[in-house]
Amino acid sequence: MTTARRVRARRGEGALLREEILRAAEDLLTEAGTEDALTLRAVAMRAGVSTPSVYLHFTDKEALVEAVCLRVWDELGRLFAESSGGDPFVALGNCGRAYARFALDHPVQYRVLMMRPSAGEGVPPAAATCFGHMVDRVAACVATGVLQGEPEALALGLWSAVHGCVSLLIAQPSFPWPEDREALIAHIVRMAGLGAALVTRVPRTLPPSMELAADLDAFGARPAAG
């Protein structure tokens, strides 16, 4: 496939050129379904610029891949906003399910940003954004008393549970998962949420299993057999 050579950008058009490069990279990523397709040469050809022009905006392939994957991250904030409101604990569960759907709808971007080391130093922007959304929702639950403890610590546990679920679904597609993935995700989110609600209400040193089961039955945490 031949690509028309783009005319050289005039002064002040650098931001426009960067956007064109990112758009070309996003198209390649969507078509290939893997970040392996995003070589600087391939992106330059798709954008109609020289490879050195790409280097003016991105130091290497890793920086380009991370930047193009971050383009979808604003959608996560929108999904969290749409899932909030109403009862805080219900909203927290809705946000957890929205997070999982987002990850599965953008598996390549999620794998790049959340399932491998970041190309840069410090906390990656994608991770910081995800965690910030989760802390906000958990803090609302702490304010009502349904969750007890530090919002950051609780959010980290809940985030880890949902991330673990979607990471397995993305990384192990051949595993015999249940056909209803939504039900599986809802189950994981419910376990994580109820677990967070209970964990600060039970002693750190637990009794033997038989005694614990009897205590949970008495508390009403699980239905009686039959």
Confidence (pLDDT) at 4:
43
pLDDT-based confidence at 3, cuts 50/70/90? Answer: very low
Q: pLDDT tens digits for 58-97?
A: 888 888 888 888 888 888 888 888 888 889 999 999 999 9
Among 1, 7, 67, 75, residue whose Cα is nearest residue 38: 67
Q: pLDDT tens digits for 31-50?
A: 888 888 888 899 999 989 88
Amino acid letter, 59: T
Among 186, 212, 195, residue whose Cα is nearest residue 148: 195
Collect all residues with Cβ–Cβ distance below 8 Å to 220 and sequence separation of at least 6.
none
Q: pLDDT tens digits for 149-184?
A: 999 999 999 999 999 999 999 999 999 999 999 999
Confidence (pLDDT) at 196:
93
Mean pLDDT computed over every residue of the chain: 85
Give pTM, 2 decimals. Answer: 0.79
Confidence (pLDDT) at 2:
42
Confidence (pLDDT) at 139:
96
Residue range 130-144: mean pLDDT, rounded = 93
